[in-house]
Chain A
Amino acid sequence: MENQVLNIQNFSFYYGETQVLKDINLSIEKNRVTAIMGPSGCGKTTLIRAINRMHELTENTRTEGIIKLYNEDIFELDPITVRRKIGMVFQKPNPFPTMNIYDNVIAGYNLNGIKLKKSDKDIIVEDSLRKSALWDEVKDNLYKKGTFLSGGQQQRLCIARALAMKPEILLLDEPTSALDPKATSHIEELIKELRSYVTMLIVTHNMGQAARISNDAVFLYLGELVEHGKTKKLFTTPQDKRTEEYLTGKFG
């Protein structure tokens, strides 16, 4: 399978003695948006954080199985390399408060000590801001602090910051849960447009959102991967009873 970007095989995750994820098998294809759904505590965020090894910041965690990015097991790579190839956007927008908009977008390069010509930086910044649909709003204020932007704009700035690193995969952990409806629809539009540049995994609580923006959907329940398939198919003809009950609001 050539266009398979990510391949998760027999992946289990333990927090202390508790098993949070049980034997997950999942493969993600290039340039598709995959929504990860499921009730609270089912391990959505844990799964997405394991994909760029952010779980290692939490003590007392252990994993089994492999996660392959193309042909390399991410657990055999350096976590720093993994995180440069797999970007992440968090629940709450978190632009760097000490930096202006321009520096925020290019932060991945600056902080890593990657020296670029000013002209190259300009190109990356403009390109990333255009992709995150923020360019027109901020092009005259590039040297103002990123924290003066609205919540939705800040989140798009964070997306631009992640895109600037040209990641293979972009992980989005409930990126709209701290935003108002208008900002949310902005971000949703953006995710649909970004599909052609980057493969995305998005954790969401919002089933409507998953239906609107994703090509594929994954349903997790109590640490198990219950169902994975095309979003349309999963929403219309779920194979598993638990998926159906979740989608029809019997639990959540």
Chain B
Amino acid sequence: MNNELTQNIDINTDKISFLIKEKKIKSRIIKDKIFKYITIAGALFVSLILAYILFYVAKQGISSINWNFIIELPKPPGEFGGGVSNAIVGTLIMIALSVIIAVPLSIAIGVYLSEDRKTKLSYWVRTGLEILQGMPSISIGIVVYVWVVLQMGSFSALSGGIALAIMMLPVVAKSTEETLKMVPYSLKEASLALGVPYYKTILKVVVPSGLSGILTGILIAVARVAGETAPLLFTSFGNPFMNVNMMKPMNSLPLVIFNYASSPYKEWHSLAWGASFLLMVMILILNITAKIISRKWKIKF
């Protein structure tokens, strides 16, 4: 028994001295370098994919983009030209609708979560938001179909806006919570010590101090839902005509892409590419604006 133990120790020291040998050190340095290059290659690979997608969509779509594409309605198959004006208007209306529904609600949730950090309720709300964020968008579409579309008796832009709002909610609520957590407690104290009531302290001191973060969160959420197709399939449904009535089916850019790209007509394919390009540019602009706002408007405490 005792003998065995000493033997073991001997072997171990042997290994250690072997590890420290110079050759081994060189091979470690090489491994370090390889590892470093693999991470760089991964990063480059992702950027390349992005660049290729941007380039390819631009190449395919840019030829369809002209003034008529923006102001005209889609034409029946066989006729060349036409535009997606109804989808552009529809996308803007439904995004506006979802922002109006989701933003006040998510800011309220975010404020609650940052104010009441350790209660059971806030724990469950936080968990609920995480689950909602991971929920497949098509399931949200189906639920809104059952809740709203079946009740109203028809597809509508309103139901589409509600589905998008449900998708925005966890993103904006989470970013609001994270931003407001960064606002120092001393600011709240300063306001309360001036005799400012609690609700005014939150609305006029705490929330404005976190405004850039909240706005960034909203823009990122908008960018995320602007490209959503699945929740709209059963809700706003799509519409070949111009419609601004929120109680009626409405078209949107992702729906145009989905419907026209899966059609057999070549003219519609080019409309779908054009719509993809337009959508991509919109989302890029939103993302870049979000970055600029978070950098320029950031408040240092």
A interface residue numbers (CB < 8 A to B): 52, 54, 57, 80-84, 87-88, 90, 92, 94-98, 107-108, 110-113, 147, 158, 161-162, 165
Contacts and interface: CB of A to CB of B under 8 A. Distances in A.
Which of B189, B190, B205, B208 has its CB near the most chain A CB atoms (within 10 A)? Answer: B190
A54 B201 contact: no
B194 A97 contact: no
Nearest to B207: A98
Contact of B187 (A82, A87, A88, A97): A97
Interface string B163-191: 00000000000000000000010110111
Which of B184, B187, B193, B208 has its CB near the most chain A CB atoms (within 10 A)? Answer: B193
Contact of A92 (B186, B193, B201): B186
Interface on chain B toward A: helix, strand, loop, or mixed SS? helix
A165 B190 contact: no
Which bracket fits the contact residues of B?
20 to 34
Contacts of B197: 80, 112
Contact of A112 (B190, B200, B208, B209): B200
A209 B205 CA distance: 33
B299 A165 contact: no
A161 B209 CA distance: 18
Contacts of B190: 90, 94-96, 158, 161
17 contacts: A52-B193, A80-B197, A83-B192, A83-B195, A84-B194, A88-B193, A90-B186, A94-B189, A96-B205, A98-B205, A98-B211, A98-B299, A107-B194, A111-B200, A111-B205, A112-B197, A161-B194
Contact of A97 (B193, B201, B300): B300
Interface of B: 184, 186-187, 189-197, 200-201, 204-205, 208-209, 211, 299-301
Contacts of B187: 94, 96-97
Given A90-B190, A165-B195, A111 B301 contact: no
A166 B189 CA distance: 19
B200 to A, nearest CB: 6
A84 B299 contact: no
